[in-house]
Amino acid sequence: MAEDKKKKVIVPIGPYHPLLEEPEFFALYCDGEKVVDVDWQAGYNHRAIEKLSEAKHWDQVTFLVERICGICSTSHPFAYCNAVEDLLGASVPERARYIRCIIGELERIHSHLLWVGLAGHFLGYNTVFMWAWKYREPVLDMFEIITGNRNHYAMFKIGGVRRNIEEEDMPALRRVLKGLKVQLEMLTHAVLDDPVLGARLKGVGVLTKEHIKNFGAVGPVARASGIGGDIRKDDPYAAYPMLDFKVITAEHGDVFDKAVVRLLEMFESIKIIEQSLDAIEGKGGDIQTEIRDIPPGEGIGRHEAPRGECFHYIKSDGTNRPVRHKIRAPSYTNIPTFKASCIGQMIPDVAIILAGVDPCYCCTERVAVYDAGNKKKQMYDFSRLVEMSRQKTEKIKKEI
């Protein structure tokens, strides 16, 4: 393969390319318009969040992880708070749990709408782009009513949420939600019944169940291939056990089914939000519990982010800072599926397949080491990092 690859033309997608909003690099090895191999390079924008997190105290980390990603900015605080509460064994007041679900589901709607719009844009269908983003506006308005911000809501804190949903806001929220449902129905029909969109998306970038299992893909990508993994059902947290909703799956695993899953999931999210509003309306109650100290120990937290399972691990030594904070965002397992879905396809298909997993590179960023001496870029693998860590420990031991 290596010999073969050298003869092919490399069509670059990235590091700066209109297909992808973030800097990363896909090298498409092409034979004519056919893509025979794909290479991926990340590491253009690594921010060392995990390391930063070790230098902040527990409450600050909530806001730090919110800034990992601009689109799913509540997923990370959600998973982080779950992790810390897992360590504490603390229980969160019921009202706070419902509010958390409302924020999480609103975010899912806005993220999926954003994806539908972008997918339309990548296909040159700018009408879908503009319509989807127009319908996303009321969702952002709801965020503004509830949290005061359209993005980066700063709602989460360890032990609860920071702001209550006021009783007088309820009618406005319900009204917006009702209008949104009508608009979403129209958009869903417009997208799914369009024959030309069908011709472009059906049978493109198929991921079988086997592929999903091998790559460990999660979220809508897995559900589009018929694997119904959903943390909200599999490992219930917050108010999800008390809510009635379906996990949407599809059969074929192509880009069209990924769109189907995302579009239909938005209706489930609306259902969840309506139920949550019903549950908290007129009930009152605390929205947070007081947390004083974080004892030594470990905790994990998971959240079904719009793109799949978001995982946080934290370790405490009893001080006011985490000693270790490990984050795994869903795109980390979703993006490499291009190895299965892109090869053998044509360039325009590859463009939409790459966008079809709804990749989020800022969550997925890893370090790449650039050796200026021999001009080589390399990724450090696990064994190399372990070795380096051991060397450093030896060095510290000697110094002591």
Partner 1 sequence: MNAVHVLLYFIMSLAAFSVCGMMAMWVDRKVTARLQFRVGPPWYQNFADFAKLAGKETLIPGKASIFMFVFAPVIAVTAAAMCGAVLLLVFRTGFGFPGDVILLLYLLTVPSLAIILGGSSSGNVLASVGISREMKLLLGYELPFACALIIPAVRSGATTSLVEILRFQQANGITLGSISGVIGFLIAVFALQGKIGLVPFDLAEAEGELAGGAFIEYSGILLGLFKLAKAILLIVGPLFVVTLYFGGINFSSVTGVIAGILKYLLILVLFVLVKNTNPRLRIDQALKFYWGWMTLFGIIGILLAVKGL
Residues that bind partner 1 (CB under 8 A): 9-13, 17-19, 30, 32-33, 120-131, 134, 194, 196-197, 199-200, 346-349, 351
- Between CA 20 and CA 13 the distance in angstroms is 8
β-pair partners for 10: 29
Q: How far is the CB of 343 from partner 1 (least distance, A)?
A: 17
Computed from CA positions of residues 353, 28, 118, 333, in that sequence, does the dihedral angle turn out positive or negative?
A: positive
Helix (H) or strand (E) holding 122: helix 94-122
- Measured from the CB atom, the residue of 10 and 367 that comes closer to partner 1 is 10
Please give the torsion angle defined by the CA atoms of residues 134, 139, 144 and 147, in that order, rounded to the nearest 10 degrees.
-160
* Min dist. Cβ of residue 192 to partner 1 (A): 13
313 within 8 A of 324, measured Cβ to Cβ: yes
Distance in Å, CB of 355 to partner 1, minimum: 9
CB of 187 to partner 1, least distance (A): 12
Quick check: helix, strand or coil at residue 215?
helix
List, in sequence order, every residue forming a beta bridge with 104; answer none if it has no partner: none
**b/e per residue 159-196 (b: at least 16 CB within 10 A):** bbbeebbeeeebeebeebbeebeebbeebbeebeeeee
Shortest spacing between CB 28 and partner 1, in angstroms = 10
- CB nearer partner 1, residue 12 or residue 70: 12
Distance CA 173, CA 167 (A): 10
Distance CA 19, CA 353 (A): 11
Partners of 30 in beta bridges:
9, 35
Please report how close the Cβ of residue 161 comes to partner 1 at its closest, in angstroms.
Answer: 33
Q: What's the token pair of residue 315?
A: 């370790």
Q: Which is nearer to partner 1, 20 or 99 (CB)?
A: 20
Shortest spacing between CB 200 and partner 1, in angstroms = 5
Show the beta-strand stretches assigned E in 258-391. 297-305, 308-316, 322-328, 369-371, 376-378
209: closest CA among 229, 226, 221?
226
CB of 204 to partner 1, least distance (A): 9
Nearer to partner 1 by Cβ, of 15 and 229: the residue is 15
Q: Which is nearer to partner 1, 5 or 283 (CB)?
A: 5
Question: Among residues 61 and 335, whose Cβ is nearest to partner 1?
Answer: 335
- The nearer residue to partner 1, 10 or 182, going by C-beta atoms, is 10
CB nearer to partner 1: pick between 127 and 383: 127
